[in-house]
Amino acid sequence: MTSKEVLKSMSPYKPGKQIEDVKKEYGLSRIVKLASNENPFGFSKKVKEEMSEWMSNLEIYPDGYSTELRMALAKKLDVEPDQLVFGAGSDEVIEIICNSYLYPGTNTIMATPTFPQYKHNAVIEGAEIVEVPLVNGYHDVKTMVAKINKQTKIIWLCSPNNPTGCHINQEEFDYVMSHCPSDILVVFDEAYYEYVDADDYPDTIKAIGQYENLIVLRTFSKAYGLAGLRVGYGVANEAITRALNVTRGPFNTTSLSQKAALIALQDETFLQETFKKNQENKQAFLSFLDNLGLSYDDSQTNFVFVHLPTTGDEAFEYLLSKGFIVRSGEALGRSKGIRITIGKKEDMEELQSHIREFITLKEGETH
Ligand SMILES: *Cc1c(COP(=O)(O)O)cnc(C)c1O
């Protein structure tokens, strides 16, 4: 039996270090994971409170239309219910998009580095990948648009961008939308939308009314804190969601995940608190970096990409030995740096003392 040829040169996703493994390896009793931009404050308490109530009827298939969640979300976003498509995380929506629009002979344009799943899924579909380097962590939208040709099917915009945290502003968004032919899909991935506070951030959901070729992706995994349950969604015009709904599996989100997302959506207090605490802890961390003389990319989200005088792997190993799991830039296409999720105040303070020690140690080595 042979798989698609391309799969032979690719690897399955390698998950970051698991907490239990690190504990054993380093003999540590407490580990702080700041590697995957999860919500350090957990998730809405209401989800837990109401959980046992839904633990019935698990023998029944979930509602394949996600009716309750769909209606609530459509109302909140002020779109038609059929303008939504749900996935097991926005990861799955990305896969469904690639599956629906890409095939050998087509190409797709994206920034580099950006969220790796765009490229991963596009390669599986046999599409050519056109990568445009970021400039100071930001998308170079003019060059991206200039790369469009007759074979182009999808342009990916990640805002705020993972792994840099930089956003795409109104002007850049307008530039892409007004220059991109309407038969090319623009995917605007807003996985960290709830953390954004920039004044020049575009209202992309509203723009869907104006652009038939725009799809906006959001998720319950990040600020809502439900990464373990896997619910994400896309918002677009019905011609697009219809195609995606044909491709997606009929029961791709579970009854529990739909319900949890619905409750989480309604708990606005939790989201506001998450936003506020993230802002405070991020600001304190950035001041610390300024004092230490370390530069970093602008961040509109709950992580910061820190530039280092050493390799990311070196800093990663050092912090790991102290019980902090961060993400080395090496695997993210930016070797001299680390991506750090903004955690709880006390954890960030401890992390800062370890970063200071690490930098002092390295300075000592070079002098
Ligand atoms: C985390 C992330 C996703 C995927 O999140 P799901 O858990 O699959 O919803 C998508 N895009 C970006 C940019 C992310 O950082």
What whole-number distance in Å separates Cα of residue 193 and Cα of residue 232?
Answer: 12
Task: For residue 336, report the phi and psi dihedrals to the nearest 5 degrees.
Answer: -95, 65
Give the whole-number percent of the chain exceeding pLDDT 90: 87
Please check the confidence at residue 14 and state whether its pLDDT lies above 80: no
The residues lining ligand 1, judged by C-beta closer than 6 Å to any ligand atom, are 89-91, 115, 158, 162, 189, 191, 219, 221-222, 227, 232
Q: Contact, 105 vs 157, CB < 8 A?
A: no
Asked if residue 133 has pLDDT above 70, the reply is yes
**Rg of the chain in Å (alpha carbons):** 21
Taking the CA of residue 162 as reference, the ligand 1 atom at the shortest distance is 13
The pLDDT-based confidence of 51 (bands split at 50, 70, 90) is: confident
Mutation test residue for ligand 1: of 13, 37, 189, the one with most atoms within 8 Å of CB: 189
Give the pLDDT of residue 19: 85
DSSP 213-257: TEEEEEESSSTT--TTT--EEEEE-HHHHHHHHHHS-TT-S-HHH
The pLDDT of 296-323, averaged and rounded, is: 97
Q: What is the pLDDT of residue 121?
A: 98
Residues of the chain with CATH 3.40.640.10: 49-266
Rounded to an integer, what distance in angstroms lies between the CA atom of residue 279 and that of residue 263?
Answer: 24
Residue with the nearest Cα to atom 6 of ligand 1? 89
CA 192, CA 163: separation in Å to the nearest integer? 11
| 286 Cα–ligand 1 center, Å | 24
Beta partners for residue 304, in sequence order: 340
* Residues near 120 by beta carbon (within 8 Å), at least 6 away in sequence: 10, 13
pLDDT in tens, 351-365: 999 999 999 998 888
**Ligand 1 atom at minimal distance to the Cα of residue 92:** 8
Q: Which of 22-31, 89-98, 246-255, 259-268 is predicted with the least confidence, judged by mean pLDDT? A: 22-31
Strand order in the sheet with 337-341: 303-307, 337-341, 327-328
Q: Percentage of residues in the chain with pLDDT exceeding 70?
A: 99
| Across 321-332, average pLDDT | 93
Please give the single-letter amino acid code of residue 30: R
Place of tokens 């892409």: 176
Residues 6+ apart with CB under 8 A from 348: 281, 284, 285, 342
**Contact in structure between 273 and 125 (CB atoms under 8 Å):** no
Segments of the chain assigned to CATH 3.90.1150.10: 5-43+269-365
Q: Looking at residue 367, what is its pLDDT?
A: 64
Q: What pLDDT sits at residue 168?
A: 98
Pocket probe mutation, ligand 1, options 37, 85, 90, max atoms within 8 Å of Cβ:
90
Question: In the predicted model, is pLDDT for residue 92 greater than 70?
Answer: yes
* Span from the CA of 94 to the centroid of ligand 1 (angstroms): 9
- Please state, rounded to an integer, the average pLDDT across all residues of the chain: 95
**Closest residue to atom 14 of ligand 1, CA basis:** 191
Confidence of residue 50 (pLDDT cuts 50, 70, 90): confident
Contact (Cβ atoms closer than 8 angstroms) between residue 38 and residue 225: yes
Check: CB of residue 168 under 8 Å from CB of residue 157.
Answer: yes
**DSSP code at position 135:** B
Q: Which residue has the tokens 């997302």?
A: 261
Report the pLDDT averaged over residues 241-269: 96
Per-residue b or e along 233-246, where b marks 16 or more CB atoms closer than 10 Å to that residue's CB: bbbbbeebbebbbe
CA of 362 to the centre of ligand 1 (A): 34
Mean pLDDT, residues 311-324 taken together? 96
CA of residue 19 to ligand 1 center, whole Å: 20
> Which pLDDT score, from 0 to 100, does residue 363 have?
85
Instruction: Name the burial class of residue 281, with classes exposed (0-12), middle (13-18) and buried (19+) by CB atoms within 10 angstroms of its CB.
Output: buried
Q: Can you tell me the mean pLDDT for 8-33? A: 86
CATH number 3.40.640.10 is the correct assignment for the domain at 49-266: yes
Per-residue pLDDT tens for 135-163?
A: 999 999 999 999 999 999 999 999 999 99
Confidence category of residue 75, pLDDT binned at 50, 70, 90: very high
Hey, how many other C-beta atoms are within 10 angstroms of the C-beta on 109? 26
According to the CATH classification, is domain 5-43+269-365 in 3.90.1150.10?
yes
